[in-house]
Structure 1
Amino acid sequence: MTTIANAVQMINTAKKITFLTGAGVSTPSGIPDYRSLKGVYQGIDQPEYLLSHDCLVREPKKFYRFVKQLYHPQARPNIIHQKIAALAEKKPVWVVSQNIDGLHDKAKTPRVVNFHGNLYDVYCCKCHQKVLWENYLIRDTHENCGGHLRPNIVLYGEGFKEDVINQAIHAVKAADLIVIIGTSFQVAPFNQLLNYRDSAAKVMAINQTALAIQEPFTMIQCAAEDLFNEINI
Structure 2
Amino acid sequence: MTKETAMIEQLLQAKSITFLTGAGVSTPSGIPDYRSLHGIYQGLDQPEYLLSATCLKREPEKFYSFIKQLYHPDALPNVIHQTIHELEKTHNVWVVSQNIDGLHDRAGSTQVVNFHGSLYHVYCQSCGKEVPYADYLASDRHLCGGRLRPAIVLYEEGFTPQTIKEAVRAVEAADIVVIVGTTFQVHPFCDLIEYKQKNAQVFVVNQTPIHLRGQKEQLIGNAVDFFQALYQKLKEAQP
Which bracket does the TM-score occupy, shorter chain normalised?
Answer: over 0.9
Q: Would you say 1:229 and 2:197 are equivalent positions?
A: no
List per-residue Cα deviations over 1:82-125 (Å, max 9, x = no partner). 00001012110000000000000000101000000000000000
The alpha-carbon deviation at position 2 of structure 1 amounts to 6.2
Distance 1:62 1:51 in 2: 10
The alpha-carbon deviation at position 215 of structure 1 amounts to 2.5
2:237 corresponds to? none
| Structure-1-length-normalised TM-score | 0.98
1:24 is paired with a residue whose SS is: helix
**Coordinate RMSD, CA, aligned:** 1.0
- Letter of the aligned partner of 1:212 in structure 2? H
List per-residue Cα deviations over 1:161-204 (Å, max 9, x = no partner). 11000000000000010000000000000000011111010001
2:205 corresponds to? 206
2:103 corresponds to? 103
- Letter of the aligned partner of 1:229 in structure 2? Q
1:216 corresponds to? 215
- In the TM superposition, 1:136-155 aligns within 5 A as 136-143=136-143, 145-155=144-154
Fraction of identical pairs, as percent: 56
Question: Structure 2: any 5+ residue segments left out of the alignment?
Answer: 235-239
1:132 corresponds to? 132
Work out whether residues 2 and 218 of structure 1, in 8 Å CA contact, stay in contact via their aligned partners in 2: no
2:80 corresponds to? 80
1:160 corresponds to? 159
Structure 1 residue runs of 4+, over 3 Å off? none
Q: Relative to total residues, which structure has the larger helix share, 1 or 2?
A: 2
1:49 corresponds to? 49
2:138 is paired with a residue whose SS is: coil
Work out whether residues 178 and 204 of structure 1, in 8 Å CA contact, stay in contact via their aligned partners in 2: yes
Distance 1:126 1:10 in 2: 50
Distance 2:209 2:197 in 1: 24
Distance 1:153 1:66 in 2: 14
Distance 2:77 2:8 in 1: 20
Distance 1:115 1:192 in 2: 13
Distance 2:2 2:113 in 1: 29
- In the TM superposition, 1:3-14 aligns within 5 A as 3-14=3-14
- Letter of the aligned partner of 1:42 in structure 2? Q
Question: Structure 1: any 5+ residue segments left out of the alignment?
Answer: none
Higher mean displacement: 8-17 or 80-89: 8-17
Distance 1:176 1:2 in 2: 21
- Letter of the aligned partner of 2:178 in structure 1? V
